Structure formats: structure tokens, C-alpha cells
Structure 1
């Protein structure tokens, strides 16, 4: 999320987006900044966009008419891209929300991010991975609707659209974030890592409103809350079965190095003793004998 001073332009590919969840989408995007531009692109003479009329009026979205110049060419995409570049060079916004499930917007998202702009993508689970990865954050419309796909309802056709198993996701992340000597990682470190490495990660995908609720519910994790200054508690977590630092077995290579180091130290001491003994013997031979009375 970001602060309210970030100005966002929301550009909607109406030809490729359902009008059903637009209100929920704007509520979601409000968490990333202040929406100053709202535009929807499409050929509004096309009957299949009829349902958009009330949505446009009810959400103060400016419709951008774009006729199809020729069959098979998507003029709507071109119009949206041109407007995005105009907004980029105007300097009037700090971020863009591109609402589409079309991979044709991948180069646009990449270009906007190269210019230092935030890019949030919004689309269905059918959205190609290339476009998802090109965005800083990607929000699936299915998450906004509260839809959950159960293992029983998953078919071969939808397997590619399913979120990765949560144990795999969290285990991989915990093995990469900074931890203390006992392998505890802070929830904030985990969240930052997930946001940087997986634009589409969302705890709501797995049925939890917050990341903290998600990790607490996982049987393969153990959690603890540490209360710091000011009485605020911080959540820490680690994989179950991890041993504290003092109980961790020493790696074989470390044992070999320790034994070798001890042997070398012992040899040095023995050599020092021999040298001292030899020096004492020489001194005794050189010393003048005492005369008897």
C-alpha cells in the first residue's frame, strides 16, 4: 500500500473487463493512493458494452470512445497505451492502475515502471503471467468477489489459474528472508519479501483477510508475539522443527575444521615445549661448574 499523496490514473480496458466488480475495484485501489484519473476504453456502440452505462455514471468514469478501424486489430488497446504515455509525460500522476486481462499491456507496464511509476494491474485469473509479473502489484478480480476455488471444483482447464500451494510459497519465502539465530523471521520481513517477489500474492486468495491470520493458521509454522517499546506487539514466525541455535547440530565440515585446528594447536604447543627444553639443556652445558670446598 502507499500514502494518500500518490496520485493514480485508473485506465480500464472495457472490451476485456467485466463491469460487475468496478466498485469493489475502486475501493481496493483507494488503498494505493488518490485516484485522480478514471477512464474506460471501448467501442461503446457495441451491444456487449451496454452493461457499462450505469457503471460509468455511478463511478464518475470518463468513457473513451474508440471505433474498431479494421477487423482483428484492437484499437482500444492502442488508445489506452497512448493515453498512458501522455499521462506519464504530463507528470500529473505517480502511479497507474491498468485494468485488463490482456498480455498486450505487458510492454506498457514495463515502460511505466522503468520511468519510476507504480503500476498496479487488475484482472482475472486467466491473465497471462507476463502481464502479472510486469506489474508491481496485481489484484485478481476473483479475490475482490470473494470467490474461492476448492480442490474438488478444480478442473484441468483451470489448474493453470490456481494459486500455488501456500506451504510451498511460505517455506520458500522463509528460507530467503533475514532471520535471527533461532530462525525466527518477522511478519513484516515476510510480507515485504512476498510483495517484491510475487506481485499477485494475496492472503485473501487463501481465505484470510490478513497475512497475520494466514500464517497463524498454518500447521507447519510456529508463531510468537514479542511486545516492544510502546506496548506494540510484533509477530514472528518460523518453520516447525527448526532447532534453537544452541541445539543445532554442527555440520561435518565444521567438525573437521575444529578437529584440525585443535590438532594444529596441540602440535604447536608440543613444538614449543621441545624448543624450550632444548634451549634449557644448552644453557646448562654452557654454565661454569661450581668448585667444591
Structure 2
């Protein structure tokens, strides 16, 4: 098995539910989770609406898979992606799958892949139905990845705005509590992992922060401490709920 930093990944893109403008950001994001050994995109390439993909596919060596629409109103692309995903799963060559679509039809596929022990990363627009989002280990909204005029620049929320988000505060506090030692301190990495398990769609960038550490500092509800790791140059962040000190 590959280590966590170099998972062998299969990237499957639904061309009908994704835009060429996300590809640069998409592949950069995927590189954080592993190496894309397979990159395939599915659609009916005889249709003019997919013409904008050609240059992008050539530049990034993404293999287009032709899927004719046999019946009007029916999406044959979804079926082709699902069949290929299962074929790739049964090879045993992949630790993770990246499903790029905003279509709820892939909910069962994501669940089935996870049942087999593989990690599933979902990528789709904010309109993606919650069941598909929840079926993934991690879900990234593609509005964060676009490189055209439609790409969103998320305004950074102030500490006051963040603290008014009861769901966010509850989520972070639960994660810190779950990962905390007897003194109440929790490693930031463990906190992030716990949050991801509870809310696959969570991303500090959705609040205007590049990293989780910046978001937690901005909340001003937690103590944040940087600690040296051994004798090397590496440091780690630890956080503690301020209520653990004053309570």
C-alpha cells in the first residue's frame, strides 16, 4: 500500500457537470492527497458544448472517454463512469478515487468505494446534493478551484462572524475535545482529521482562510501553541478550548 502522502489515485471527471476552468486548481488539489495514476473524463464529445475541453485535456494528459447519449434525457455518462470505477477498484491498484461531479447519482458509487476500503475525494459545485457530499471522505467545492471570471474569491470572515456561526463553533469544539489530551491540548492535525470525518465538505478556504490554523486563531475561542518536534526544524500546532482553562 502507498503511504498517506502518496496514494495511488484514479481521477474520474463528469464533463457534463464540470468546467475546464477548474482543471488547474483541481489537479493541484488532488496532488495534496496523492498521485493521479489514472485521469479520465466522460462525455459525448460529438456535442459542441464540450468543445472547450480539448486544449485542457491535451495539456494535462486527461483521457477523454466517449459516451454517446443513446436516449434523450438520460445520462449515459454516469453509467460509464460507474462501470469504469468498479473495474478500476477490482484491479486493486488504487487507494483512492476522485469523483468530479455535482450529480447526486454518484452517491451510491462513493459509498460503495468506501465500503471497499478506498478513500473517496469528491469535487463539485456548492449546489451538490448533501447525500453525495456526505458519502465522500473529503469534498471540495470547485468554486474554490476555478481560474476564470466566475471563480469565487471568498471574503475572509471576521472573528465575530465566525463566532456567530454556531455550526462551525460546535464542529471545531467537538473536534478539539475528541482529540485532546488530559490537559485539554489537541494536535491540529488530529483536529483537522476529526472535522473531516464529521463534515467532509469543511474547508477553511470556504471562510476565507488558507489553513485551519488561521481559522482557529481567528475564532479567538482557543489557545494556539506552536511546539518544536524533536531536534529538527519542524513544528506542530496544538490547540485548547479556552473554556478548559477558565471552566
Query: Smaller-chain TM-score range?
Result: 0.7 to 0.9
Counterpart for residue 186 of structure 2: 185
Given that residues 2 and 31 in structure 1 are in contact (C-alpha distance below 8 angstroms), is that contact kept between their aligned partners in structure 2? no
Mapping for residues 175-254 of structure 1, pairs under 5 Å? 175-181=177-183, 183-230=184-231, 232-243=234-245
Given that residues 156 and 208 in structure 2 are in contact (C-alpha distance below 8 angstroms), is that contact kept between their aligned partners in structure 1? no
- Structure 2 CA distance, aligned partners of 1:226 and 1:15? 47
**Alignment counterpart, residue 147 of structure 1, candidates 149, 152, 155:** 152
Unmatched runs of 5 consecutive residues or more in structure 1: 153-162, 249-293
Counterpart for residue 83 of structure 1: 84
- Structure 2 CA distance, aligned partners of 1:186 and 1:164? 23
The CA deviation at 1:165 is 5.3
The CA deviation at 1:187 is 1.5
Q: Whose strand fraction is larger, Structure 1's or Structure 2's?
A: 2
- Structure 1 CA distance, aligned partners of 2:15 and 2:166? 29
The CA deviation at 1:226 is 3.4
Mapping for residues 20-31 of structure 1, pairs under 5 Å? 20-31=21-32
Given that residues 156 and 207 in structure 2 are in contact (C-alpha distance below 8 angstroms), is that contact kept between their aligned partners in structure 1? no
Report the aligned-residue RMSD: 2.4
- Structure 2 CA distance, aligned partners of 1:18 and 1:241? 45
DSSP-derived class of the 1:122 partner: strand
Counterpart for residue 2 of structure 1: 4
Deviation per residue, 1:163-205 (Å, 9 max, x gap) = 9853333223234333323x33221221121122221111122
Given that residues 154 and 207 in structure 2 are in contact (C-alpha distance below 8 angstroms), is that contact kept between their aligned partners in structure 1? no
Counterpart for residue 34 of structure 1: 35
Q: TM-score, normalised by structure 2?
A: 0.85
Unmatched runs of 5 consecutive residues or more in structure 2: 158-164
Deviation per residue, 1:212-232 (Å, 9 max, x gap) = 222222222222233453265
DSSP-derived class of the 1:98 partner: strand
The CA deviation at 1:149 is 4.8
Structure ranking higher on relative contact order (CA contacts 8 Å, 6+ apart): 2
Counterpart for residue 161 of structure 2: none
Given that residues 123 and 139 in structure 2 are in contact (C-alpha distance below 8 angstroms), is that contact kept between their aligned partners in structure 1? yes
Given that residues 12 and 100 in structure 1 are in contact (C-alpha distance below 8 angstroms), is that contact kept between their aligned partners in structure 2? yes
Aligned residue pairs total 233
Q: Which has the larger radius of gyration?
A: 1
Deviation per residue, 1:46-99 (Å, 9 max, x gap) = 111111111111111111111111122110100111111111112232221111
Given that residues 148 and 205 in structure 1 are in contact (C-alpha distance below 8 angstroms), is that contact kept between their aligned partners in structure 2? no
